[in-house]
């Protein structure tokens, strides 16, 4: 277990290049070429992380300013995904999650139950979080481990299922996104999209960055759209002119830089994907597989970012008006792009539809997060996580509001 902990402590931007290097050599790449692929992929993720830092560092405070401005007071604190990940990895189920996740992936590959090789080991924390909640709910570690394994298997299947549309929409060949948070909303988004198809007039509404640019010229350019949305968000947050302008340029920077960082990532990934294809064709009769990555590579698409920015004030209003909600959105407001990253391809980049679907899943998610708050808090205490000062109950949008995690927890509770 010490080896796995050491790898986790290296961080995703170091751990992933090592994994890619080992995978590349195993697939028949020359060591030098595999090494370069790993380093370039690491550089790509560093770049994506920096751009996400700009997004989180600006979007989060603006959202929190809106919360204070509206005077919303709720009793369950959204501690955010970093706290949820720390709780997950520090739990009893979390101590086993890396070998467990790898074993599930290998078994499914050998049994032809998946085509995804999930190298995104850092995000195994989503599976560990499910295991931690189930263990807290049932008092049985074996049920927590079983639920974590089931979560890993389901997400691999969701990654396979959505891979063609993900590759086509985002232009990332050979990739799937077996992300425990983003993938969970696919089974909800698909039927909701079909429901919208059957609503007269509403089904004709199409708002996407491309059509806006065609109709309104420069106003529809993703960079300019980022400026406009940033200004609107700044006004809603009650910012002065200086802060609103800074926010607008920061949002424009995210829109402009994120696709370029993904291109850097793909420069390193394409040689590995080609080696994987050749390897499988020689040894498995032409069978192909996908490389599973973090959905961070998708959150910078203009449709995903525009949807997320619009959903921030909507989330705050929903928290205030939904009967039964007790969660105060705070730490995870900036993770909304991850929530819609796999919704955008389903609605073909239609921002209107992704906002409608996003509002529905966030509304339901707030009630889920409220429902699991006591277990979330118990899991945190068992993992020796220090609660925020003054907080008696905690939860999160990522993964406390995750419908797949909640469903697995309910099923395990029946078994326990």
Query: CA-to-CA distance for 262 and 272, rounded, in angstroms?
Result: 15
Q: Which two tokens stand for residue 119?
A: 């190298």
Which DSSP letter does residue 116 get? E
Query: CA-to-CA distance for 185 and 161, rounded, in angstroms?
Result: 13
Instruction: List pLDDT tens digits, range 238-249.
Output: 999 999 999 899
Q: DSSP characters for 283-344?
A: HSTT---EEE--GGGTTTSHHHHHHHHHHHHHHHHHHHHSTT--EE--TTGGGHHHHHTTTT
Instruction: List pLDDT tens digits, range 179-223.
Output: 999 999 999 999 999 999 999 999 998 887 666 666 655 655 778
What is the model's pLDDT at position 2?
Answer: 61
Query: CA-to-CA distance for 83 and 102, rounded, in angstroms?
Result: 24
Q: Where are the alpha helices (DSSP H) in 237-290?
A: 241-283
The dihedrals phi and psi of 78, each to the nearest 5 degrees, come to -80, 105
Burial zone of 35 (CB within 10 Å; 0-12 exposed, 13-18 middle, 19+ buried): middle
Instruction: List pLDDT tens digits, range 62-110.
Output: 877 887 887 777 888 888 888 888 888 888 888 888 889 989 999 998 8
- HEC sequence for 163-214: HHHHHHHHCCCCEECCCCCCHHHHHHHHHHHHHHHCCCCHHHCCCCHHHHHH
Query: What is the pairing mode between strands 327-328 and 290-292?
Result: unpaired
Query: What is the pairing mode between strands 327-328 and 76-78?
Result: parallel
What is the model's pLDDT at position 1?
Answer: 54
**Contact predicate 209/306, CB 8 Å:** yes
Residue 413 pLDDT greater than 70, yes or no: yes
**Contact predicate 136/416, CB 8 Å:** no
User: E strands within 73-134?
Assistant: 76-78, 116-118
Long-range contacts of 49-55 (CB under 8 A, 24+ apart): 49/13, 49/296, 50/261, 51/253, 51/254, 51/257, 51/258, 51/261, 51/300, 52/296, 52/299, 54/250, 54/253, 54/254, 54/257, 55/250, 55/251, 55/254, 55/305, 55/334, 55/337
Q: Which two tokens stand for residue 17?
A: 């290049």
**Contact predicate 274/71, CB 8 Å:** no
The residue with tokens 């968000």 is: 233
The total domain count for the chain is 1
What is the model's pLDDT at position 223?
Answer: 81
Instruction: List pLDDT tens digits, range 284-299.
Output: 666 778 889 888 888 8
- What is the number of helices (H) and of strands (E) in the chain? 16, 6
Q: Which two tokens stand for residue 80?
A: 């955010």
Query: CA-to-CA distance for 57 and 248, rounded, in angstroms?
Result: 13
Q: Is 384 left (phi over 0), alpha (psi -120 to 50) or beta?
A: left
Domain housing 280: 2-415
Query: CA-to-CA distance for 151 and 254, rounded, in angstroms?
Result: 31
Handedness of CA 26, 18, 295, 266 (dihedral sign): negative
**Contact predicate 36/268, CB 8 Å:** yes
pLDDT > 70 in the chain, percent: 92
| Residues 6+ positions from 141 with CB-CB distance below 8 Å | 92, 93, 135
Instruction: List pLDDT tens digits, range 317-357.
Output: 899 899 999 998 877 887 888 899 999 999 999 999 999 99
What is the model's pLDDT at position 58?
Answer: 83
């Amino acid at each position: 277990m010490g080896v796995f902990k050491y790898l986790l402590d290296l961080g995703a931007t170091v751990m992933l290049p090592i994994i890619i290097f080992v995978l590349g050599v195993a697939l028949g790449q020359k060591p030098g070429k595999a090494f370069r692929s790993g380093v370039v992929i690491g550089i790509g993720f560093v770049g994506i992380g920096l751009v996400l830092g700009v997004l989180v560092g600006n979007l989060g405070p603006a959202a929190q300013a809106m919360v204070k401005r509206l005077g919303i007071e709720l009793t369950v604190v959204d501690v955010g995904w970093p706290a949820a990940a720390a709780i997950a990895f520090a739990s009893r189920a979390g101590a086993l999650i890396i070998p467990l996740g790898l074993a599930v992936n290998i078994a499914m590959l050998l049994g032809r139950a998946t085509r995804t090789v999930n190298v995104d080991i850092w995000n195994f924390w989503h599976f560990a979080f499910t295991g931690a909640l189930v263990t807290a709910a049932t008092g049985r570690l074996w049920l927590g481990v079983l639920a974590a394994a089931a979560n890993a298997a389901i997400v691999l299947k969701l990654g396979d299922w959505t891979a063609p549309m993900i590759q086509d929409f985002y232009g990332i060949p050979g990739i799937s996104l077996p992300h425990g948070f983003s993938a969970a909303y696919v089974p909800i988004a698909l039927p909701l999209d079909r429901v919208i198809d059957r609503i007269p007039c509403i089904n004709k509404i199409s708002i996407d960055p491309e059509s806006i640019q065609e109709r309104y010229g420069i106003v529809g350019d993703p960079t300019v759209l980022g400026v406009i949305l940033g200004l609107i968000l700044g006004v809603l947050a009650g910012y002065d002119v200086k802060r609103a302008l800074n926010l607008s340029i920061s949002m424009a920077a995210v829109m402009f830089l994120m696709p370029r960082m993904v291109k850097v990532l793909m420069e390193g990934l394409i040689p590995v994907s080609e080696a994987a294809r050749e390897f499988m064709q020689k040894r498995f009769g032409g069978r192909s597989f996908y490389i599973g990555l973090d959905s961070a590579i998708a959150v910078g698409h203009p449709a995903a970012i525009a949807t997320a920015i619009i959903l921030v004030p909507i989330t705050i209003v929903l928290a205030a008006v939904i009967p039964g909600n007790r969660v105060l959105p705070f730490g995870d407001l900036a993770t909304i792009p991850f929530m819609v990253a796999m919704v955008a391809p389903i609605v073909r980049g239609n921002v209107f539809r992704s906002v409608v679907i996003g509002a529905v899943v966030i509304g339901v998610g707030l009630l889920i997060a409220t429902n699991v708050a006591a277990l979330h808090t118990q899991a945190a205490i068992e993992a020796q996580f220090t609660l925020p000062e003054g907080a008696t109950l905690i939860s999160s949008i990522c993964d406390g509001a995750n419908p797949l995690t909640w469903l697995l927890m309910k099923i395990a509770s029946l078994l326990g």
